[in-house]
Amino acid sequence: MKKNKIFIACDTSNLNLVKKIINQTKTKKLEIIPKFGLQFFYSKKGRKFLEKFNNNFFLDLKINDIKQTALSAIDSLKDLKKCRYITVHVNGGLEMLKAVKKKATITNKNLKVLGVTVLTSLNNKSLKEIGHTKTLNQLVLKQVGLIKKAGLHGAVLSAKEAKFVKKKYKNLFIVTPGIRLSGDKADDQARVVTPYEALKKNKVNAVVMGRSLVRGNIKNNIKKLVDHLSQ
């Protein structure tokens, strides 16, 4: 039976805490892969740690710049041999997305490029404030179209959009942030679902989890997640 894929967000610059999260989230019942974002990657110890890290990991940089700068960013990661997933923001445009995909394939044949759509901290009101005229659902669908056109390996979007996106793009690899265990605070997230809703009901391929798992007793939280997904 295929294990549920969980990306654990290591959102801290504290190296000892990161090591603790990695060690205490290990389980044979789930496929756990650590995800490192800007806070850890930008830290001196963080970047050095990833150079020598000997397990697969997800690097969540949300690259969003002119094509040449984006290409240079990918090129600078060639020493990170165990990096298996990297994020690039769809806002960078189709040509940037295509170029990053091509460069990533050359830099690391095992590296999968995921396109980030509308952040899960945003809602329709937020999009209007930014200046978008499309609804959130319309914009996500449009962005996924660019992801497919660019040949990226998958998309990052909320589980709330996953169901209708899957109807149009059945084989799309979908990673979903904004995940909370039942009863946990949404914090800065606007479009939140439970792991069960995302993985079982909306059929996403993987979820990103941070605070619901790393706050408090990590091992107990992992057990809660396993039980939650077994319902």
The one-character DSSP state at 92 is G
Q: Enter the DSSP assignment of 14.
A: -
pLDDT in tens, 32-66: 999 999 999 999 999 999 999 999 999 999 999 99
- Which of 112, 170, 111, 120 is CA-nearest to residue 140? 120
Distances (CA, A) of 54 to 49, 196, 227: 10, 30, 29
Supply angle C-alpha 30, 57, 59, rounded to 5.
125
With contact defined as beta carbons under 8 Å apart, do 144 and 213 qualify?
Answer: no
Predicted pLDDT at 205: 96
pLDDT tens, residue by residue, 178-202:
888 876 665 666 667 899 999 998 8
Task: Answer whether 122's CB lies under 8 Å from 115's CB.
Answer: no
Check residue 186 and give its pLDDT.
59
60 secondary structure, DSSP code: E
Above 70 in pLDDT, residue 11?
Answer: yes
User: Which of 65-69, 121-125, 215-219 has the weakest average pLDDT?
Assistant: 121-125
| pLDDT level of residue 5 (50, 70, 90 thresholds) | very high
pLDDT score of 69 more than 70 = yes
| Residue 195 in tokens | 């792991």
CA distances from 214 to 109, 209, 220 (A): 31, 9, 10
pLDDT at 160: 86
User: Please, which pLDDT band fits residue 174 given cuts at 50, 70 and 90?
Assistant: very high
Mode of pairing for the β-strands spanning 5-9 and 31-36:
parallel
Tell me the whole-structure pTM to 2 decimals: 0.93
Is the pLDDT assigned to residue 157 strictly greater than 70? Answer: yes
- The domains of the chain, with CATH numbers, are 53-229 (3.20.20.70)
Name which residue leads in pLDDT, 83 or 180: 83
Catalytic residues: 62
Say which residues have a Cβ less than 8 Å from residue 31's Cβ, sequence separation at least 6: 3, 4, 5, 6
As a whole number, the mean pLDDT across the chain is 92
Is residue 59 a contact partner of residue 80, using CB atoms and an 8 Å limit? yes
139 pLDDT exceeds 60? yes
